[in-house]
Structure 1
Amino acid sequence: MANTPRLSKTNTPQDQRPVIVQILPALGRGGVERGTIEMAQAIEKAGGRAVVISAGGPLERHIVRCGATHHTLPVNVKNPLKWGSIRRRLQKILQDEDADIVHVRSRAPAWIALPVAKTLRIPTVSTVHGRFQAHSIFKRIYNGKIIKVDHVIAISKYVKQLITSQFVGVEERMTVIHRGVDVDVFDPQAVNQTRIINFADSVALPEEMPVVMLPARPTLWKGHEILLDALALIKDMPFICLFVGAADGKQAFIDRISRHGTDLGLEGRFRLSHAVDDMPAALMVADVVVMPSITPEPFGRISLEAQAMGRPVVAFDHGGAVESIKHGQTGWLATPGDAESLADCIRQALELQGSNRQVLADKSRTHIERNFSTTRMCNETVKIYRRILQKSQLANTG
C-alpha cells in the first residue's frame, strides 16, 4: 500500500514486528468484516503482524490469504456466564502472540477482551461501527464498554456525535476515520464486459431497461418498502428495480416486500435477488443506486462503492450518507422518510443523459478517490496504532 506509515518497535530485534490483534464477532459478509480484512493487509504491509480473532465465517480465508493469523474463538457470545472461559482462552492467545495492541470492533468482543487486555497491560483501540443508540440504562451500560479504551475510532461524524452526546470525556481520545472503498477493485475500467453480462444473466435483467438498484441486507429499516412507494410515483418512466440481497431474507420478509410492490401496481417491475460476490459488476448495470434507509445509516458503504463506479446515488438526507454524497454533484439527498422527495431524486437520476451523466460519474469517482479510499482509511488507522505503540514504549522505558 503506497505511502503507508510504518509500524515498528524500538529497542527490539529487527524481526520482532508489532502485533496488532483485531477482534470482531465473526467473519461474515459485512462492512465490519471487510474493514477488518483491509486493515489486516495494511498492518502486514506497514511492517506489523496482523492477528484476527473471531468466531469464524466465510471470509476467514481472506485473513489467511493476506498473511495474517486467525484464531477461532466465540467472542460473539453475549451471555456473561460464558465469558469467563472465553477470556481465559483469549488471554492465552494474546500472550502466545505477544500482542502489542488489541483493537475491538464490536460490543460483545469489547466486554470479553478489554478486561483481558487490561490485565495484560496491552493498549486498546475500538472502532464504533453502529448507531450507538440506547433506550435503557442497561443498553447504555452495554454500549459504553466499547469506548473504555485508549483510543476510539468513529466511522463518521454522525457516529461521533451520537457517542459524545451520551458520554462525557471521550472526545479528546476519539478520531473520525471514514470507512473506505478499494478504488482499484471498484473501478469501472477494471470490470470487463463478460463480468457484467454474467451478472445481468444471473438475475435475468431485461435488455435496454434502466435499472434502479438497492443493494442491502434483507431488513426493513434499509427502506425496501419506501423505495417501492417512491417508484409507484414514477410509474410513467421505464425501469426495473433490483433488490440485491433481499432474496436472502426470511420468507416473511420476501412475501411482505413482494406483496407491497404488487399492491402498488409494480408487479413485474421489481426483482429480489441474492447477494452477489462480484459487486463491481453488479453496480455497472445500475442506472441509479438508492440507499433509502428509514433510520440513519452510521455511514453507508454502498454509497462509496456506487460513486467509485461512477453511478448516481440517491439517499435520505440523514446519518452518514450526508458525509459521503455531494448533493447535486455526485448524487441526491432526499427529505428523510418522504417518498415524494425520494421519487423526485430518482427521476432526476434516471433522466441524466450523455455528457451530463459522464460529468457526474467523473465527479463521483474523483470524490471517492480523494476522500474515501481504503488506502486513506488504513493509513489513518495505522497512524493511530503507531502513536499508541510509541506512547506504550515510552511508558515501559520511563
Structure 2
Amino acid sequence: MSKQAMPTKILFLNHTAFLGGAEVMLIRLIKYLNRNLIEPIAIIAEEGPLVEQLRSYGVRSYIVPIDPRTLALKRDKYEMRFTKIVHTLNIYRKYVYKIANFAKSKGIDKIFCNNVRAQIYGTLAGYFSNIPVIWRFHDILSEYDFIYPVRKLMSFLASRKIVVKILCVSQAVENSLRKEGIKGWKLQTIYNGIETFDKSTSKGKLRQQYGISTNTKLIGIIGRITLWKGQEIVIKAVSKVLKNGLDIVLLVVGSPFSEEERKYEKNLRKLAKDLGLRRQIIFTGFRKDIPSVLKELDLVVHASLNPDPFPTVILEAMAAGRPVIASNCGGVPEMVQHEETGLLFPSGDSDRLAECIRYALSNEEKMRMWGQNARKQAFDKFSIEKYIKNTETILTQNFRS
C-alpha cells in the first residue's frame, strides 16, 4: 500500500500586515488552497489584520520584525542613490539569515514572496537556504513606480536561478518584466480571482446614511487617497458634468496613509469647496463594507494616473455587476472592454472622463448591459477557481529536478 504524499510546505512572505490589494489576494489564495496538497506557513514582519486573517484560516503565522531602517529603501523616491541601496541591503542581511534558517528548520519546500520587499529578502533567503523561490508580482516594473537603481535591483534578483517562477497579476505586468530582460519561461500571468457574492441590489442604507435621494445617480471612486489614484481628476470631471444639470453625487471612498497623502486629501476637500460641490462630493473615509457600497453605486470610476497592474476594486465592481469607467493604462484594458463592460478614457484627462460620465448616465440601458457583461466576465475570466487551480499547479511543481 503506497503512502500518501506529504503536502508541499510553502513559506509565504509579506513584509506588511496592512490589508492592501496584494494582501487581500494572498488571503483569498490561502483560504482556498487544497491543504492535502499544500501546507501554508507565513512570516509577516509585523502584527496586524493580515496576520489575524491568516490565523483565522488555521495558518501557522510567525511575526519576525524587520529593522525599520530597511524602510529607507523606497522604490519610487528619486533621492535614493546606489550607495544608499547597498547600505539598506546590508541591513537586510541579518533578517535574510533569520528567514533562511527558519525555512531550513521547518523543512520548507518553496518560498512564496508576495510583495517587493519580501521579494528582496525572500530571494536572498532562498539563495542561502537553497530553497526555490516564487514571486507573486503585483507591480508594473517601469519608471512610473520604480526608480532606475531599484528597477535594476529587482531585475537582477528576478534573473537569479533560485527564482524559479514569477506569477504576474496581468499581461501588462508580464510585459514590463520582459522589457527588463527577464526570461519568458520564468513568467506566467495568473489573474487574481474574485469570490462570488450576492448580486442583488438594495439601494437604501448608504443613501440614507448620507441623505441622498433615490433619484440621484451615485458615482463612486474607491481606493487609497493618494495623488496617483486620480481623485482630483474625478472631482474636476464631476464638476463639468454637473454643469449639464445632471443630478449626481460622487462618493470618494478611502483614506490616506501618509502625512503627504493627508495633505492631498485636504487639498481635495478644498477643491470640492472651491468648485461649490460640498453637497455633491462626499468623503466617506475608509469603509470595510465595499461589496455593500458597490451594490448601491450606479457607476464606478477608476482614474489612476500611473499604470495600475490589476486593480482589485475594478474586479469587485465587475462582480457586483457595476459598469466601470477607467483609465486606459496598465492592466485595466485586460479587465474593462470599451463599450462592452464599461468605458475607457485617456489617463489624466478630466474632459474625456466627463464625456464618458455624461454618455454613460444618459444611456441607462447600455449601463445595465455593461454591468451584466462585466459580471459574466468576472466569473468566467477571473474566477476564484481558476486563480487557485493555476497557482496550486505552480506551487506543487517540482522545480528541483
Q: 1:260 to 1:140 in 2, by over 3 A?
A: same
Written as runs of structure 1 = structure 2, the 5 A alignment for 1:76-87 is 77-78=70-71, 79-87=88-96
C-alpha displacement at 1:44, in angstroms?
Answer: 3.9
Q: What CA deviation, in whole Å up to 9, does each residue of 1:248-271 have, x standing for no partner?
A: 675422220011122233232101
1:68 is matched by which residue type in structure 2?
V
Tell me how far apart the structure 1 counterparts of residues 299 and 157 of structure 2 sit (CA, whole Å): 37
Tell me how far apart the structure 2 counterparts of residues 200 and 62 of structure 1 sit (CA, whole Å): 30
Judge conservation of contact 2:42–2:61 (CA < 8 Å) in 1.
yes
| Alignment TM-score, normalising by the size of structure 2 | 0.86
Tell me how far apart the structure 1 counterparts of residues 139 and 24 of structure 2 sit (CA, whole Å): 15
Match of 1:171 among 184, 188, 191: 184
2:263 is matched by which residue type in structure 1?
A
Q: 1:313 to 1:372 in 2, by over 3 A?
A: same
- Hey, what does 1:287 align to over in structure 2? 298
Tell me how far apart the structure 2 counterparts of residues 24 and 247 of structure 1 sit (CA, whole Å): 21
Residue range with higher mean Cα deviation, 62-71 or 84-93:
84-93
Q: What CA deviation, in whole Å up to 9, does each residue of 1:15-72 have, x standing for no partner?
A: 7321111111112121110111112123344531111211232122211122222111
User: Is structure 2 residue 37 aligned with structure 1 residue 47?
Assistant: yes
Q: What CA deviation, in whole Å up to 9, does each residue of 1:76-134 have, x standing for no partner?
A: 84433432322232123212321111111222222212222122221111021112124
% identical equivalent positions: 21
SS at match of 2:313: helix
Written as runs of structure 1 = structure 2, the 5 A alignment for 1:129-168 is 129-134=138-143, 136-147=147-158, 148=160, 149-167=163-181
Written as runs of structure 1 = structure 2, the 5 A alignment for 1:1-398 is 14=4, 16-45=6-35, 47-55=37-45, 56-74=47-65, 77-78=70-71, 79-134=88-143, 136-147=147-158, 148=160, 149-167=163-181, 169-182=182-195, 184-185=196-197, 187-189=198-200, 193=202, 197-235=204-242, 236-246=245-255, 250=259, 251-353=262-364, 355-387=365-397, 389=398, 391-392=399-400, 395=401
C-alpha displacement at 1:363, in angstroms?
Answer: 1.2
Q: 1:337 to 1:158 in 2, by over 3 A?
A: same
Q: 1:247 to 1:166 in 2, by over 3 A?
A: closer
Tell me how far apart the structure 2 counterparts of residues 146 and 31 of structure 1 sit (CA, whole Å): 23
Judge conservation of contact 1:110–1:145 (CA < 8 Å) in 2.
no
C-alpha displacement at 1:224, in angstroms?
Answer: 0.7
Q: 1:146 to 1:63 in 2, by over 3 A?
A: farther
SS at match of 1:150: strand
2:105 is matched by which residue type in structure 1?
D
2:194 is matched by which residue type in structure 1?
V
Judge conservation of contact 2:140–2:330 (CA < 8 Å) in 1.
no
C-alpha displacement at 1:284, in angstroms?
Answer: 0.9
2:110 is matched by which residue type in structure 1?
I
Judge conservation of contact 2:224–2:256 (CA < 8 Å) in 1.
no
Tell me how far apart the structure 1 counterparts of residues 96 and 208 of structure 2 sit (CA, whole Å): 48
| Alignment TM-score, normalising by the size of structure 1 | 0.87
Q: 1:91 to 1:323 in 2, by over 3 A?
A: same
C-alpha displacement at 1:174, in angstroms?
Answer: 0.5
Judge conservation of contact 1:131–1:298 (CA < 8 Å) in 2.
yes
Residue range with higher mean Cα deviation, 270-279 or 280-289:
270-279
RMSD: 2.4
Q: What CA deviation, in whole Å up to 9, does each residue of 1:236-256 have, x standing for no partner?
A: 211110000046675422220
Tell me how far apart the structure 1 counterparts of residues 187 and 277 of structure 2 sit (CA, whole Å): 46
Q: What CA deviation, in whole Å up to 9, does each residue of 1:122-174 have, x standing for no partner?
A: 1111021112124654222332255231111111111111111122x421210
